[in-house]
């Protein structure tokens, strides 16, 4: 029997395993005797970047590169690269020191309830990932929307990137994939997000070279969305034996069977492959009935290595969506079918996952759970007595009552995500949302009342929306800030195959065209509107929304955008045992990081960098770490005449070198002599440096910061960057 290895490639978030490989593994095992393994290469890749050693190596690279760039006249792109190098060289040592504590924090139930702690942890992790690409501009790694030199949308760019000898992913896979792994007859790569496309194609190339006997399949929503354009890029079929499009269960089993039986591929729906130089596409596979799907099989995945305090497992209670919002493309994968799994089987899934993995935290990743299903699942979980914490996305339907939310909460539901989109009724109607502003208002209040955390997503710039209407949405979220726990604003995108693209005149949309000519894998389209906000003005309003005071207030109350963290909200009383990072960085989360907008600013910064390089950065990493960590290590502080103490101050995202006498003074002022107490006193002593940046230009703000730092130096604190 043919064997199969399923791989989830980099790069996307690592809060929990993605469902695709677990669902496919379970189905293939249920329907056949093929052996199936699975590997979360995304998690493995992220974890290998998130080590202090990896960051420190990048600091050295950043210093060398910055020195070379400083000697040259810089292009715009090089100026940004220099800025990146300076950031990594300047902050990297601190980030490397903080990284172990940051990883402990995001994996501690106590800490994830502490928004300030999470703000520091998320920033440190983001900076550590960003450091990874300091030698390969313009790549920027992050867990939401990574940037690669070769855009996922640009087939030609992807092809060129793959032929480069210095492809970073090839080297990474050599390091991360053991000789005994991915030896199946077939390797199936599951691509869900755009950020996975360049690494996934690099993985296909790696497999071609290192596992030449393997058949390589590529599947998932991304390539399903672009299935009609794959034929224009036949070079892809040098790497990929077949693309699996739409839902992958049936095509995958049939493909494995075909290796044993010789059945022709033309008879297997859901495949795109090349034969005799022709790219062929078979039809849409018949979807599997929801009741015939097995419980996902997460065996083989390191469930305790994800960036959560305990395993959070994703589950689907339904496939597709019963609604049809004007901007949505969910039907592109599932067709028009909406399939709901019987509640008794969902209960069985939950029991099985609890038994196999001790899983107490589940996120239903349905497109949108219907009110009826939400009610039934809540009742079933409550009646089963299962101790579970769960969340899902649902619509703000009028039929959902406070009693429904109370029942959901009693069954363990702790967070609900809502695509609210707008707080203006005319715009909601244009979107075909089928909800009212009055219902939105009531539901937000009901959830807050019963103790369910509310995640609200809004869209700015839907075709026809005026600036005043968009402002109504911003004002609405401000008025309900105390009941909203997570708030996202996004700018409207016109996607291929959305209802708007199919009948643009209905929405006042004209001049639809490719966003970038030649970018065949770009799902977004360029367009114009007959009335309302155009895209550029929509961005202006969006910037206003995310810069608003209430947006920041919600973030600082509830932490960064990680809805799964709310599942741990009542496991441990907030902040008990948390705060290691906050203590280490001496109070509070970082504010804005310094940004240098032009080459002159960069040069000024680089002179400061060069001036201190001989001092702060040439300090041996360990010594730097020890002196800096004094505040967080729990060891008793001792005044030292020289070189003083290096303290990272999140209020200005600066390292400050403190004189021994100042630390001694702070130490004596702190009644309990604890690191937190001393840090608090230091913060008070250095208060002038921590005031908010003044209004004005970047240059004025930079000058203002320098003046504040000099004042602090006069009072005993000497800024070193």
Q: Which is nearer to ligand SF4, 250 or 395 (CB)?
A: 395
455 touches ligand SF4 (CB under 6 A): no
What phi and psi values does residue 584 have, to the nearest 5 degrees? -60, -40
Nearer to ligand SF4, 94 or 369 (CB): 369
Nearest distance from C-beta of residue 417 to ligand SF4, angstroms:
10
Buried b (16+ CB within 10 A) or exposed e, 156-182: ebbbebbeeeebbbbebbeebbeeeeb
Q: Which of 330, 372, 603, 711 binds ligand SF4 (CB under 6 A)?
A: 330
Q: Which of 185, 367, 485, 522 binds ligand SF4 (CB under 6 A)?
A: 367
The two three-digit tokens of residue 363, written as one number: 């996120």
Q: Is residue 314 a contact point for ligand SF4 (CB under 6 A)?
A: no
CB 36, min distance to ligand SF4, A? 29
- Which of 90, 419, 559, 579 touches ligand SF4 by CB under 6 A? 419
Minimum distance of ligand SF4 from residue 395's CB (angstroms): 5
Q: Are 426 and 494 spatial neighbours (Cβ–Cβ below 8 Å)?
A: no
Q: Which is nearer to ligand SF4, 110 or 325 (CB)?
A: 325
- The CB-of-628 to ligand SF4 minimum distance in angstroms stands at 47
Tokens of 494: 């016109």
Determine, following the binding rule CB under 6 A, whether residue 328 of this chain makes contact with ligand SF4: yes
- d(C-alpha 613, C-alpha 36), whole Å: 53
Nearer of residues 297 and 366 to ligand SF4, judged by Cβ: 366
Q: How far is CA 132 from CA 9, 68, 160, in A?
A: 17, 19, 22
In whole angstroms, the minimum distance from the beta carbon of 500 to ligand SF4 comes to: 12
580 by DSSP, 3-state: which?
helix
Q: How far is the CB of 461 from ligand SF4 (least distance, A)?
A: 16
Closer to ligand SF4 by Cβ: residue 67 or 330: 330
* Minimum CB distance to ligand SF4 smaller for 435 or for 525: 435
Does 221 bind ligand SF4 (CB under 6 A)? Our answer is: no
CA distance readout (Å), 263 to 188, 249, 254: 19, 17, 9
Round to whole Å and give the CA distance between 143 and 551: 21
Q: Give me the least distance between CB of 392 and ligand SF4, in Å please.
A: 12
Cα separation, 86 vs 268, in Å, equals 54
Question: Shortest Cβ distance from residue 458 to ligand SF4 (Å)?
Answer: 13
Rounded Cα–Cα distance for residues 618 and 189 (Å): 44
- Non-local (6+) Cβ contacts of 129 within 8 A are 46, 49, 50, 141, 142, 143
321 lines the binding site for ligand SF4 (CB under 6 A): yes
Write out the two tokens for 62.
């950043």
> CB 321 → ligand SF4: shortest distance, Å?
3
Is 499 among the residues that bind ligand SF4 (CB under 6 A)?
A: no
Other residues' Cβ atoms within 10 Å of the Cβ of residue 560: 16
Residue closer to ligand SF4, measured from CB, 185 or 523: 523
Of 284, 5, 15, which Cα lies nearest the Cα of 143?
Answer: 15
Quick one: 421 or 446, whose CB is closer to ligand SF4? 421
Find the shortest distance in angstroms from Cβ 363 to ligand SF4: 16
Q: Which of residues 647-676 bind ligand SF4 (CB under 6 A)?
A: none
- Distances in Å between the Cα of 285 and the Cα atoms of 147, 268, 295 are 33, 8, 21
List, in sequence order, every beta strand (DSSP E) within 15-129: 36-40
Q: Which is nearer to ligand SF4, 200 or 440 (CB)?
A: 440
Residue 460 is a binding residue for ligand SF4 (CB under 6 A):
no
Residue 96 or 373: which CB sits closer to ligand SF4? 373
- In the bound state with ligand SF4, the residue whose beta carbon lies nearer, of 395 and 565, is 395
Binds ligand SF4 (CB under 6 A): choice among 395, 406, 565, 649: 395
Interface with ligand SF4 by CB under 6 A: which range of 52-60, 259-267, 320-328, 349-357?
Answer: 320-328
**Closest Cα to residue 380, out of 355, 347, 358, 348?**
347
Report in angstroms the alpha-carbon separations of 156 from 40, 188, 194, 333, 508: 28, 23, 16, 25, 33
CB of 332 to ligand SF4, least distance (A): 11
3-state helix, strand, coil in the chain (%, to 5): 50, 15, 35
**Residue choice 53, 68, 238, 324 for contact with ligand SF4 (CB under 6 A):** 324
| Site membership for ligand SF4, residue 325 (CB under 6 A) | yes
Question: Which listed range, 205-213, 323-331, 337-345, 445-453, lies at the site for ligand SF4 (CB under 6 A)?
Answer: 323-331
C-beta of 161 vs 321, nearer to ligand SF4: 321
**In the range 141-160, which residues lie near ligand SF4 by CB under 6 A?**
none
| Residue range at the interface with ligand SF4 (CB under 6 A); choices 110-118, 133-141, 325-333, 509-517 | 325-333
- The site that binds ligand SF4 (CB under 6 A) totals a number of residues, namely 10
Q: Decide: 444 and 417 in contact? Cβ < 8 Å.
A: no
The H-or-E segment that residue 477 falls in is helix 467-479
Q: Which residues contact 328 (CB under 8 A, 6 or more apart)?
A: 321, 498, 499
H runs (alpha helix) in 559-674: 580-584, 599-612, 621-633, 660-669
- Which residue, 115 or 444, has its beta carbon nearer to ligand SF4? 444
Interface with ligand SF4, residue 323, by CB under 6 A: yes
* Residue 699 φ/ψ, nearest 5 degrees: -65, -45
Binding residues among 593-652 for ligand SF4 as defined by CB under 6 A? none
d(CA 192, CA 451): 32
Encoded one letter per residue, x for contact with ligand SF4 by CB under 6 A and - for no contact, window 561-600 reads ----------------------------------------
Least Cβ distance, residue 320 to ligand SF4 (angstroms): 8
Residues of the shown chain interacting with ligand SF4 in the complex, contacts defined by CB under 6 A: 321, 323-325, 328, 330, 367-368, 395, 419
């Amino acid at each position: 029997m043919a064997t199969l290895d399923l791989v989830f490639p980099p790069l996307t978030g690592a809060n929990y395993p993605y469902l695709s490989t677990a669902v496919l593994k379970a189905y293939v095992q249920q329907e056949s005797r093929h052996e199936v393994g699975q590997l979360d290469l995304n998690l493995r890749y992220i974890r290998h970047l998130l080590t202090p050693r990896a960051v420190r190596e990048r600091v050295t690279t950043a210093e060398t590169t910055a020195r070379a760039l400083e000697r040259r006249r810089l292009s715009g792109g090089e100026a940004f690269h220099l800025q990146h190098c300076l950031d990594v060289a300047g902050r990297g040592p601190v980030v490397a020191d903080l990284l172990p504590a940051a990883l402990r924090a995001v994996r501690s139930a106590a800490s994830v309830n502490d928004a300030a702690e999470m703000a520091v942890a998320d920033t440190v992790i983001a900076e550590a990932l960003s450091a990874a690409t300091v030698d390969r501009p313009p790549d920027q790694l992050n867990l939401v929307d990574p940037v690669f030199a070769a855009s996922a949308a640009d087939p030609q760019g992807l092809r060129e990137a793959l032929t480069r000898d210095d492809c970073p992913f090839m080297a990474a896979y050599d390091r991360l994939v053991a000789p005994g792994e991915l030896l199946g007859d077939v390797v199936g790569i599951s691509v869900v997000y755009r950020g996975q496309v360049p690494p996934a194609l690099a993985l296909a190339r790696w497999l071609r070279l290192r596992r030449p006997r393997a058949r390589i399949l590529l599947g998932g929503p991304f390539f399903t969305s672009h299935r009609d354009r794959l034929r224009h890029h036949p070079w892809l079929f040098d790497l990929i034996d077949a693309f699996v499009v739409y839902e992958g269960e049936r095509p995958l089993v049939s493909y494995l069977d075909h290796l044993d039986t010789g059945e022709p591929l033309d008879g297997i729906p859901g495949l795109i492959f090349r034969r005799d130089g022709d790219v062929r596409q078979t039809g849409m596979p018949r979807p599997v009935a929801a009741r015939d799907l097995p419980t996902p099989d997460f065996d083989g995945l390191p469930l305790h290595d994800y960036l959560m305090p305990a395993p959070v497992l994703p589950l689907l209670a339904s496939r597709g969506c019963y609604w049809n919002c004007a901007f949505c493309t969910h039907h592109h994968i599932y067709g028009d079918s909406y399939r709901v799994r019987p509640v008794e089987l969902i209960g069985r899934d939950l029991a099985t996952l609890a038994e196999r993995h001790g899983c107490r935290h589940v996120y239903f990743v349905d497109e949108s759970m219907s009110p009826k299903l939400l009610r039934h699942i809540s009742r079933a979980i409550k009646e089963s007595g299962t101790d579970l914490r769960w969340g899902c996305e649902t619509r703000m339907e009028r039929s959902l009552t406070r009693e429904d939310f109370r029942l959901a909460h009693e069954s363990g539901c702790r967070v609900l995500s809502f695509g609210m989109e707008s707080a203006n009724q005319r715009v909601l109607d244009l979107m075909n949302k089928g909800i009212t502003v009055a219902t939105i208002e009531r539901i937000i209040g009901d959830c807050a009342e019963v103790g369910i955390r509310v995640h609200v997503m809004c869209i700015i710039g839907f075709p026809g929306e005026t600036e005043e209407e968009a402002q109504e949405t911003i004002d609405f979220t401000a008025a309900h800030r105390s009941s909203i726990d997570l708030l996202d604003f996004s700018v409207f995108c016109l996607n291929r195959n959305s209802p708007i693209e199919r009948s643009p005149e209905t929405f006042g949309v004209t001049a639809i065209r490719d966003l970038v000519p030649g970018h065949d894998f770009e799902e977004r389209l360029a367009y114009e509107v007959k009335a309302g906000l155009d895209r550029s003005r929509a961005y202006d309003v969006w910037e206003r929304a995310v810069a608003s005071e209430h947006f920041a207030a919600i973030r600082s109350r509830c932490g960064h955008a990680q809805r799964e963290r709310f599942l741990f909200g009542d496991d441990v009383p907030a902040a008990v045992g948390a705060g290691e990072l906050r203590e280490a960085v001496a109070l509070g989360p970082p504010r804005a990081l310094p940004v240098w907008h032009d080459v002159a600013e960069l040069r000024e910064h680089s002179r400061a960098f060069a001036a201190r390089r001989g001092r702060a950065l040439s300090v041996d990493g360990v010594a730097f770490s020890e002196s800096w960590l004094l505040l967080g290590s729990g060891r008793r502080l001792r005044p030292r005449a020289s070189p003083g103490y290096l303290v990272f101050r999140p209020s200005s995202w600066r390292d400050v070198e403190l004189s021994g006498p100042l630390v001694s003074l702070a130490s004596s002022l702190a009644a309990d002599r604890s690191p937190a107490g001393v840090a608090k006193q230091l913060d008070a002593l250095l208060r002038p440096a921590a005031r908010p940046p003044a209004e004005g230009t970047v240059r004025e703000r930079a000058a203002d910061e320098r003046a504040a730092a000099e004042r602090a130096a006069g009072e005993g604190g000497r800024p070193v960057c």
